[in-house]
Structure 1
């Protein structure tokens, strides 16, 4: 089959592009999660332990970040046929590709689920309990968690009237967790493409032989 060498080269080129794309997205995921640890770029909230549990979980750092970046490195190395991958057989290459894809899939999925839950629960901030009942008290917590009759994501009037500290807590929370959600969704799509590409590479390698 004369077209198999060309297809094999295309498969390797695709791996290089996918590896670079996944690596870049992993860096952006890590930066977005880092921003969540410093609301309004203020370190005092982190030092006082006043950061929400979803941001502290750091799924964008070790899930959509480190795990995906590690997988992206292996995918890129396979695309360039570098080091131990330069003479590896097709079965070994596709096995490594699937393991790398599985690692990236797990990391991206963890980041995606965590970001979705965080957006549903809402930000961790100081709010006035009297806004919801007659008790006058300020406390830190999740004011939108049990707000069943109103969805804070769509009711923007709640964004500036509920959270007293940090300022713009809702905007910060929604913005960066939305970024993490989109990045992890993109990573999942790239991983699926790499699954397909790795099997295509295996098929082309067998045809070439």
Structure 2
């Protein structure tokens, strides 16, 4: 009985830490996605619809942001036994804990996949599409997406020579999507830890009965 009580206490402490960590990570994910909507902190690109589809998808806002933050709030309330969780049955609390883990994992996974694809495709920017003996022409698109012979992530000489507008478009794209990728990876790790913690707590409550 004593060991079960200690394990439940450790589980609640773990939930408090994980809830705070996931909530903080969700806020950073949302902030990184917001930054991607304003290249060089210029609102004109968003107003003109010149933002890439990966940033406009907003997976860092609603996936790694809202979904993970909602899960973090539930996890924190269970850890501190706030509101209705103070009087709920242990099995019901653990069921909510498992569902919140799945919600956090799903949101983080969506953000992780989107960030990976965005880094692979490269930034949305204005580039020169003229070919030999043709008039110089520019358009907005993904100049690195079909560049099979060179990887722009490793060849930094392309960063300033291909994208003409926005200035430093590649650096902005790579920096913030790399941040999103790292945050979502951390969220996935924390979600897995909380899922395992919830399972242990559920088994503990069943054994105690």
Is the aligned partner of 1:2 residue 2:10? no
TM-score when normalising by structure 1 = 0.96
Paired position in structure 2 for 1:45: 45
Conserved? CA contact 2:122–2:173, under 8 Å: yes
Match of 1:58 in 2: 58
Cα drift, residue 7 of structure 1: 1.4
| Count of residues in correspondence between the two structures | 207
Q: Secondary structure at the match of 1:146?
A: coil
Moved more, 95-104 or 32-41: 95-104
Deviation, 1:199, is 1.2
**What are the equivalent positions in structure 2 for 1:132-171 lying under 5 Å apart?**
133-134=131-132, 135=134, 136-171=136-171
Q: Which residue of 2 aligns with 1:71?
A: 71
What SS class does the counterpart of residue 150 from structure 2 fall into?
Answer: coil
In structure 2, C-alpha distance between the alignment counterparts of 1:195 and 1:60, rounded to whole Å: 22
TM-superposed deviation, 1:203: 2.4
User: CA offsets per residue over residues 145-184 of structure 1, 9 Å max, x none?
Assistant: 1000000000000000000100000000000000000100
**Hey, what does 2:115 align to over in structure 1?**
115
Equivalent residue, structure 2, for 1:93? 93
Partner of 1:34: 34
Deviations 1:78-117 (A, max 9, x none): 0111111112122111110111111111111110110000
User: Using the alignment, how far apart are the partners of 2:46 and 2:3 within structure 1?
Assistant: 57
* Residue segments in structure 2 that go unaligned for 5+ positions in a row: none
- The residue aligned with 2:15 is 15
The normalised TM-score by structure 2 is: 0.96
Alignment partners' CA distance in 2, 1:172 and 1:186: 21
Q: CA RMSD in A?
A: 1.0
- In 1, the alpha carbon distance for the partners of 2:38 and 2:83 equals 40
CA distance in structure 2 between the aligned counterparts of 1:83 and 1:24, rounded to whole angstroms? 21
Work out the CA distance in 2 between the residues paired with 1:88 and 1:202.
13
> What is the alpha-carbon distance in structure 1 between the residues aligned to residue 114 and residue 203 of structure 2?
36
